[in-house]
Amino acid sequence: MKLSKRLSGLSHLSSALVESSLPANISYFWNFGSILGICLVIQIASGVVLAMHYTPHVDLAFISVEHIMRDVNLGWLIRYSHANGASFFFMFVYVHIARGLYFGSYTKPRVFVWSIGVIIFLIMMGTAFLGYVLPWGQMSFWAATVITNMLSAIPWIGQDFVQFVWGGFSVDNATLNRFFSLHYLLPFLLAGLVIMHILALHKHGSNNPMGFESHMDKTRLHDLFTVKDIHGFILFFLLFSFFVFFYPNVMGHPDNYIPANPLVTPAHIVPEWYFLPFYAILRSIPSKLGGVIAMIGAILILLALPFLHTAWVRSATFRPIHKFLFWIFVGNFLILGYLGGAPMEAPYTIVGVYSTVFYFSYFLIINPLVGIFENVMILLFSFRKRIKC
C-alpha cells in the first residue's frame, strides 16, 4: 500500500515536471526562471555554510568575515559565490520581470503567478538588504543607518518604530543580531513562495511570445526544454565563475573592506547596485515620507499591472507602440540606476525627478492609454475590412 502511494506520488511529480506540456515557441527568455532557481539554491547552500563561521557581534562580525576569507577552507570561494550570487540573482530577476512586462505575462489567467512573483521580489530585496549589513563594513553600517532611519517618516509612531527595529537608540549589536536571524530565515520563506509560484504556473502553463493561448502547438518539457535549460545553466555557470574567480569585487563597494566606524560618515552613501533605481526614486521626492511611499510604491505598482492592462492584445510582438515605449521605460530604469549612485546635486536631481515621473506614468497613464488607443485602431481596421468585403 505504501509502495503504491509512493509510486503514485512519483508519477504525479513526473507528470508535473517532465511530461507537462509547454508552448513550442517559447524562447531562451523563458530560461531565466529555471536559472533563478539555481541562484536560490546557490544562495541558500553558501549562506548556510557562511553562517557556521560568522559571528553576529559588532566587535567580531568584520573579523569573522576576514576569518572566512583567509582561514576557512575554500571560505573565499563560498563568500564570493554568495556575494556575486546575490548580484546575479537580481540581474536575472530584472530580466525575468522585463520579459513578463514585454510579453504580457501578468494578464489573465496568470494574475496569481505574477502576484506571487512580485511578493518574491519584495522579500528578496529585504533579504538582500539584511545581508548587505552583515559584513559590518563602513558602507554596510551607514547603509543600515540611512535605510532604517526612513522608518521614522511613519506618522506618530515612526521614531519609536525605528528604535524597535534597532533594539536600542542606534544601529548596534541588537540590530546586527536581528538582521542576521532574519537574513538566515527569509530565504527559506522565499523557497516556499517559489514552490507556490511554480505550482501556480503549472495550473495555466507558460505564456509564449505570441501572447495568445493555444492548446495545439505544445510539446513536453522533456527533452526539448530540459536541453535548453541545461544549455542556459552552462552559460550561467561560465559567466558566474568568471566573476567569482577573476572579478569578485567588481559589483561590490570598496568601502565595505573598511571596518564600520560610527564616528566617520562616508562621503557618498550608496546601497548595492540592484537597489539603485529605487534609491534614486526615494531621493527624487523632497518629502521624507513621500520618498519612502514612492520607493515602496515603485515595487507594489507591479501588483496593479493586471488591472491596469487595457489592451486586447497581450504581447508586444504585435503592439509596435507599446514595444517602443517599453524600451524607453527600460532606458529610463537604467538612468534611474545610474542616478541612484550619483551625488545629490544638479543636474542629477532634476533628471531624477523627470525619470521618477516617467516611471510611474508608464504604469498608471501611458500603458493604459496606449492599450485603449490600440483597441480603437483594431476596431477601425476590422470595421474598414468589413466595409471592403
Q: What share of the chain is helix, strand, coil (3-state, %, to 5)?
A: 75, 0, 25
Residue 82 labelled as part of a binding site: yes
Q: pTM (2 decimals)?
A: 0.91
Compute the CA torsion angle 374, 377, 378, 379 (nearest 10 deg).
Answer: 130
Residue 322 labelled as part of a binding site: no
Strand 218-220 and strand 21-23: the pairing is antiparallel
Q: Which superfamily does 26-269 belong to?
A: Cytochrome Bc1 Complex; Chain C (1.20.810.10)
By the 8 A CB rule, do 290 and 88 touch? no
In the chain, the percentage of residues whose pLDDT exceeds 90 is 59
Catalytic one of 57, 67, 202, 222: 202
Q: Which among 99-108, 213-222, 281-290, 354-363 has the top mean pLDDT?
A: 354-363
By the 8 A CB rule, do 223 and 17 touch? no
Residue 213 falls in the annotated catalytic set: no
Catalytic one of 81, 87, 140, 229: 229
Residue 228 falls in the annotated catalytic set: yes
User: 105, exposed or middle or buried, with CB in 10 Å at 0-12, 13-18, 19+?
Assistant: buried
Residue 229 falls in the annotated catalytic set: yes
Residue 67 labelled as part of a binding site: no
Count of helices and strands (H, E) across the chain: 14, 2
Residue 231 labelled as part of a binding site: no
Tens of pLDDT, residue by residue over 215-260, are: 666 666 667 778 888 888 999 999 999 999 999 999 988 888 999 9
Q: How far apart are CA 165 and CA 148, in angstroms?
A: 8
Tens of pLDDT, residue by residue over 157-213, are: 889 999 999 998 889 999 999 999 999 999 999 999 999 999 888 887 777 777 777
Q: How many other C-beta atoms lie within 10 A of the C-beta of residue 267?
A: 6
Residue among 58, 34, 318 nearest 176 (CA):
58
Spatial neighbors of 340 by CB under 8 A, at least 6 apart, are 270, 271, 275, 276, 277, 278, 279, 280, 283
Reported confidence tier of residue 20, pLDDT bands at 50, 70, 90: low
In the chain, the percentage of residues whose pLDDT exceeds 70 is 90
Residue 12 falls in the annotated catalytic set: no
